[in-house]
Structure 1
Amino acid sequence: MNSVREWPETERPRERLIKHGAEALSDAQLLAIVLRTGSNGKTVIDTAIELLQNFRGLRGLEEASISELKSFKGLGIAKIAQIKASFELGKRALCEKSQEQFFNSAEIVYNYFFPKLNGLKKEVFITLLLDTKLRLIREVKVSEGTLNQSLIHPREVFKDAVKESAYAVILIHNHPSGDPTPSEQDIEITKKLKKASEILEIPILDHVIIGSGKYFSMKERGVV
């Protein structure tokens, strides 16, 4: 039974999605719907499972470059385009959803950004620009790489906040090690930015450090 068309209707990914909803399907089944057909004599499910194994899950598949995807035997340009497009649509939907989200706690910030930052090998520093209702105006990536005072300058952090007339900001960065405990450098940078925020009258509501399965809130710990 090599073709998915030969499977019982209740086992076919597309039919299962229509009947039970997308949340009822596994990662491999969802990916199989995106791919549509198998390759090299394998079913689309087998191809999807091999892809996920080869790239170590959805995160690795999303981060894979076009050349890396091309190296996977049986994956042509059309399928690569379908994979990239599906991930980008997911990101854009998440971004639109964030416009309705009230960022009024460190836990909300963590839950929203953990999927985006988890697994990154570099530190990324992000500023959230918020309106008076604490809804996201937009997020700004300030720097990527090891944090230091020369990169995280108040000018770069607040430039877009001033331009967008943001009511307040939340600072975020990740620790690739998974441990969100702040370094002395993290605390020094936060205190420096807090002084700048007081002059500009654009308050820093929090600085959330995102780790693996946990976070550190500088507001909750009394740093800001």
Structure 2
Amino acid sequence: MIKSLPKEENPREKAMTYGIESLSNVELLALILRTGNKEESVLQLSQRLLNEIGGFSQLNHVSYAHLIKLKGIKTAKAIEILSIIEIAKRLKENALPKQSLLSPMDIYERVKNELMFLKQEHFVILCLDNKNRVLKEKTIFIGSINMSVVTPREVFKEAININSAKLVLLHNHPSGDASPSPEDQQLTEMFRQLGEMMSIEIVDHLIIGWNQFYSFEAEHIFYI
């Protein structure tokens, strides 16, 4: 447990003495986990968790199913980690200016830092109001993107639940090349047709690559 660590290694003591901002990523995570296991201290468990998910930045995309597969992480710890991540996401969302996304570049600027450096494909939606302001951002799927796994039900459910008038579809290409595949084309067309049936406009679908992105609305690849 944290309280059993030597004082000089105890992140709680360090936070009280020097301020919470003095803690490393591993120490912050250790405060959330609180306990290790028979084989590892809580600091060692925190370091291994970050190593296995691919680093601190990947916490933003980790899922419950992924967490509980990790040795030493059971339901309670997984839920606590996800709760902290969700708080951070909501604080970020509230802090962002309610800017209208009026062009493909506006959309790209909002999401580029989240999606450009990911090692797996992520399918994300932005739910918009009638003025193209973001109401909600949601990661729908992580893995290889195709029509069989990105289900319309999950996508449109998010929009309907918050009475969103419009959607932006987003996904990244870990290869860095933002050129659309035939599957990307088919997926976009499917969502456009379904959106028309449900009176939910698909504003655009962006593919994020390395310093480049493709807009299905503009039918053009942009190099940054």
What letter matches 1:86 in structure 2? I
> What one-letter code is carried by the residue in structure 2 that aligns with 1:6?
K
Q: Which residue of structure 1 lines up, in the alignment, with residue 86 of structure 2?
A: 91
Alpha-carbon contact 1:110-1:208 (below 8 Å) kept? no
The answer (yes or no) to whether the contact 2:128–2:167 under 8 Å persists in 1 is: yes
The structural deviation recorded for 1:85 is 1.0
| Residue of 130, 133, 145 corresponding to 1:132 | 130
Query: Is the CA contact 1:125–1:142 (under 8 Å) kept in the aligned structure 2?
Result: yes
What do you get for the CA RMSD once the two structures are aligned?
4.4
Matches of residues 84-123 of structure 1 in structure 2 within 5 Å? 84-95=79-90, 97-98=92-93, 101=96, 102=98, 104=101, 105=106, 106-111=108-113, 113-114=114-115, 118-120=118-120, 123=121
Structure 1 length-normalised TM = 0.62
Gaps of 5+ in 1: none
Offset at residue 142 of structure 1 (A): 6.5
- CA–CA distance in structure 1, aligned partners of residues 184 and 20 of structure 2: 41
Q: TM-score, normalised by structure 2?
A: 0.62
Q: CA deviation at 1:131?
A: 0.9
Distance in 2 of aligned mates of 1:139 and 1:88: 16
Mapped to 1, the partners of 2:159 and 2:169 lie a distance apart of 12
Q: SS of the counterpart of 1:147? A: coil
Deviations 1:160-190 (A, max 9, x none): 6467553332111233445333224324543
Distance 2:157 2:126 in 1: 12
Is there any run of 5+ residues in structure 2 with no aligned partner, and where?
A: none
User: Aligned partners of 2:24 and 2:203: how far apart in 1?
Assistant: 38
Amino acid at match of 1:4: L
Contact 1:99 1:135 (8 Å CA) reproduced: no
> 2:124·2:138 contact (CA, 8 Å) conserved in 1?
yes
Pair 153,14 (structure 1): closer, same or farther in 2 beyond 3 Å: closer
- Alignment match, 1:216: 213
Is contact 1:191-1:223 (8 Å) kept? no
- Relative distance call for 1:191 and 1:223 in structure 2 (3 A) is farther
Query: Secondary structure in 1 aligned to 2:203?
Result: strand
